[in-house]
A and B are shown apart, each in its own frame.
Chain A
Amino acid sequence: MIFNLPLVAVVALVIIGLATIVLKKNLIKIFLGIVVLESAVNIFLVALGYREGGIAPIYTYAPAGTMVLPTPQALTLTSIVIGVATTALLLSFATVIWKKYGSIEVGFLRRLKE
């Protein structure tokens, strides 16, 4: 049961992230919702690879015993890097919107509607 806790956290974070994206009106808060969602997915990946009592998968001088799976950690690392790029681009969009519109409230993003 205790090992299901990370998965419970994942579900909670997904719900918090999606709720933030849908309900908040401030662009920065919406982008923070995306970051929370990304963290949820990363925790999910790492939790998948965890083995009870496992050690880090480094073979040099490794004691006998179970190791955690290395692949999900590699996936998570890639996903974190992509997440950084995504967040940086989103924030740069927010700065442009701030400069051009003088506000980062979603309500002001209406000029496209014709």
Chain B
Amino acid sequence: MTTSFLVEHAPALMVIVPLVAAFISPLTQRFAPAVRSLLVGGALALTSALALLLASDVFAHGTRIYVFGAQAASLAVPADSGGIPIRIIFAVDPMSALMLVISAVSALAVVLYSLAAERRHSGLGSFYTLFLLMVTGILGMVSTGDIFNFFVFLEILSIASAGLIAFRVDGGVAVEAAIKYFVLSTIGALAILIAIGIYYGEYNALNMALIAQRMQFTLLDQLALVLIVAALAMKCGAVPMHFWTPDAYSMAPSSITALLVVASQASLYGLFRVAFTLYGITLNAACVGWLIIILGVLSMVVGVTMAIPQKNVKRLMAYHAISQTGYMLLGVGVGLAVLGNQPLLDTFGYMAMEGGIFHIINHAMYKGLLFLTAGAIFYRIGTYDLNRMGGLGHSMKWTMVFFIIGALAIAGIPPFNGFASKLMIYESVFAFNPILSVIAMVVSILTLASFVKVFHSIFMGPVLPEFRDVREVPAPMLAGMGILATIVIAFGLFPSTVVDCLIAPAAHALADQGTYIAAVLAGGA
């Protein structure tokens, strides 16, 4: 009874729980910080549990629809509305379910870490308000089936992220980074709003499934596509709109940086959702696919070459994040380029998309882990400057182990998860165009080279006199990193199980526009 109730209302509860907890957090802070910690941790644990429950239901029974303000999902299209779903609808298909699980679990790991790491700072009541609002924005973006609602959650996410990037004013430098991020996000969001206006003017609808069904791909639709793709590619940090990324990632508190990585994956999800579900086979798939592939290759190459000379460990990791986003764009872009050509899609298209989507989940895990280790090092020694670090392997053994796991995973070394998804991308992209695959491998080698250098300068060498008293970080921080590291290893050891059970249904759901439309307009599968 309780379980069926929870499953039925899970899509709404996933957004409501963090949203309510966000505004209770400053109140509990007044009574006791311990209560606030319990509230924040409990809210995210509940959200993760709901995400897992919902995902298991979606993977077993197909797309789940939640209609706000209606008694049942079957009322998605009211009888007297002329075939238009007038209410706000959440549509959780396997792709959304996967993103919900990734976001909720990473947020839980990050909050465990952050409860310990931020303990010494002031203003924590509002810090966690913004933190939970960010989680709300991410979860809403990946589960909504209404394009205007998508814009609202995107704005919640942007405003909360900007506040958090600037949270440690840091002599004004953090605010500088936040201004860059926020001005760009606002312009991007307004571009998306213009595109939404175009859709509404043409099709009288805001529901993605209905727009997709009525899609004509006129000149105006092409303009709307350009606006949305440009805005979301900027939000996920693809070259040539990447310049806010290193600043924002390096100035935000480390736990927030790990969450910003998840947020960029949510924007990437939005990009794929628009390209595949909203437009699908009506668009000139080869052309848009190639555009996304080119964005991906540029991001891979520019990201890694900019990363190599960096001296600040978080800026370096931020450039690597740009480079890794390129892999996802490459994989899914290849899938998009052959969309509508069933034989090619079956030979390598689905595999490329699976590789790209698998890389999204892997990247969220190992990149989050790497940013958390950078934060752990900062927590003890107070600097991100690689030239001033050294010999920390003697005292911070667990942090070193987690860093090695993250670094090997990002470089694509077996048996870690980065290898599994990169191998799928190499193989399938090679069948599409061998040169792209070669570029991807070279970028991977450069990534490894860069992380070997970083590892050596942080952890190796004799104990430096100024770091003689450095100790390991507190247990909750290690626990947060431990959750992510466990997932990195588990996904690396059993990639085929993960791909078969989670990734393949998500990739097929993304490519199959007809099923999504039918599911939403019929009120759930």
A interface residue numbers (CB < 8 A to B) = 21, 27, 30-31, 34, 37-38, 41, 44-45, 48, 71-72, 75, 78-79, 82, 85-86, 89-90, 93, 96-97, 99-101, 109, 111-112, 114
Contact = CB atoms under 8 A, between A and B. Distances in A.
B182 A89 contact: yes
A66 to B, nearest CB: 15
B201 A112 contact: no
B159 interface: yes
B149 to A, nearest CB: 10
Contact of B159 (A38, A86, A111): A86
B169 interface: yes
8 contacts: A48-B201, A78-B152, A86-B159, A86-B182, A86-B186, A93-B166, A100-B171, A100-B172
Contacts of A21: 183, 187
A109 B244 CA distance: 13
B229 interface: no
Contacts of B183: 21, 30-31, 34, 90
A112 B197 contact: no
A75 B148 contact: yes
Interface stretch (B101-109, B173-181, B208-216, B360-368): B173-181
B277 to A, nearest CB: 21
Given A21-B183, A48-B197, A111-B176, A89 B163 contact: yes
Interface string B236-255: 00000000000100010000
Nearest to A113: B247
Contacts of B173: 111-112
Contact of B155 (A71, A82, A93): A82
Contact of A96 (B148, B169, B193, B197): B169
Interface residues of B, number: 33
A109 B176 CA distance: 7
Contacts of A112: 173, 176-177, 247, 251
Interface string B507-518: 000000000000
Contact of B179 (A37, A48, A86, A109): A109
Nearest to B175: A96
A97 B179 contact: yes
Contact of A114 (B169, B187, B311): B311
B206 interface: yes
Contacts of A86: 155, 159, 182, 186
B162 interface: yes
Contacts of B175: 93, 96-97, 100
A91 B462 CA distance: 48
A86 B184 CA distance: 12
A71 B190 contact: no
Contact of A93 (B178, B190, B197): B178
Interface in B372-396: none
Interface in B150-172: 152, 155, 159, 162-163, 166, 169, 171-172
A85 B130 CA distance: 14
Contacts of B169: 96, 100
Contacts of A109: 176, 179
Contacts of A82: 152, 155, 159
Interface of B: 148, 152, 155, 159, 162-163, 166, 169, 171-173, 175-179, 182-183, 186-187, 190, 193-194, 196-197, 200-201, 206, 247, 251, 311-312, 315
Which of A38, A45, A78, A93 has the largest number of chain B CB atoms within 10 A?
A: A93
A18 to B, nearest CB: 8
Contacts of A85: 155, 159
Contact of A79 (B193, B200, B247, B312): B193
Given A27-B179, A34-B186, A97-B175, 11 more contacts: A41-B193, A71-B200, A71-B206, A75-B148, A82-B152, A82-B159, A86-B159, A90-B186, A96-B172, A111-B171, A114-B312
A82 B160 CA distance: 12
Contacts of B177: 112
A81 B206 CA distance: 19
Nearest to B86: A71
A111 B180 CA distance: 13
B1 to A, nearest CB: 37
A93 to B, nearest CB: 5
A53 B477 CA distance: 64
A71 B247 CA distance: 39
A44 B197 CA distance: 7
B312 A90 contact: no
B176 A38 contact: no
A30 B155 CA distance: 19
A72 B200 contact: yes
A39 to B, nearest CB: 10
B250 to A, nearest CB: 8
A42 B172 CA distance: 33
A89 B159 contact: yes
Given A41-B197, A96-B175, A34 B166 contact: no
Nearest to B156: A82
A99 to B, nearest CB: 8
A43 B384 CA distance: 47
Contacts of A44: 194, 197
A75 B162 CA distance: 23
Nearest to B84: A71
B402 to A, nearest CB: 27
Which of A30, A82, A101 has the largest number of chain B CB atoms within 10 A?
A: A82
A90 B201 CA distance: 31
Contacts of A100: 169, 171-172, 175
Contacts of B163: 89
A101 B148 CA distance: 38
